[in-house]
Amino acid sequence: HHFHNMTMWADDLYMSVPFLVRYSQFTGDQKYLDDAANQFFGFKKRLFMPEEKIMSHVYDFKYDSKTNVPWGRGNGWVIGGLAEILKTLPAEDTEYRPFYLQLFKELSESLANLQNKDGFWHASLLDPDSYPSPETSATGFIVYGLAYGVNQGYLPADKYLPVIQKGWNALVSAVEPDGKLGWVQPVGADPRKVTREMTELYGTGAFLMAACEMYKINK
């Protein structure tokens, strides 16, 4: 991959990489697995914030720098993407699985520590007071990722279950009597104001993915 004259968005790690891993399974062609991993390596190299151990949202090649935007949903896309990859990658894969699993565990730990006391993850992970309202798309993806990790035995249940349960309770509190999920930040590139009325399909999708994993936890 030659990433020049472009902007790199953390979202791609959910939107393209899991697809490539699936496509490799479907076609039996290793090159798609290699392509997926190269994309992930390149993104991690440029977007990972080593102090905070979370992902920045954007890398701007024009200025050759990352924006250091610790966006809630941006990190939600990444942990959700990692869960999808681990779900699809053959269990016997020794070439790439250790890398994905290591990053999954590292992000899980950082994100668990950044949960707000209200159970939500906020639009800005490192400065929740800047946008103090709940944000359910980040919360949905993170609960999904952490719950998947516990269900697979990748994350210790005693440490993560309280975080997951608190996050799930927060998500449920954002559902209106008619079933509409609120507090979803609209399409964007960085933390913004969110209100209870706001909803988007990806917020609902993340909620349902989290619900599937919660069902397994509570079975």
Q: Which are the catalytic amino acids?
A: 11
- What are the strands of the beta sheet with 58-60, ordered from one edge? 7-9, 58-60, 65-66
CA distances from 202 to 17, 80, 168 (A): 17, 12, 17
Amino acid letter, 15: M
Give the residue from 155, 156, 136 showing the smallest Cα distance to 207.
136
Burial of 31 (0-12, 13-18, 19+ CB in 10 A): exposed
Secondary structure of residue 124 in the 3-state scheme: strand
Instruction: Please list, in sequence order, all residues whose beta carbon lies within 8 angstroms of the beta carbon of residue 34, skipping any fewer than 6 positions away.
Output: none
For 107, the token pair is 């992000």
The enclosing H or E element of 7 equals strand 7-9
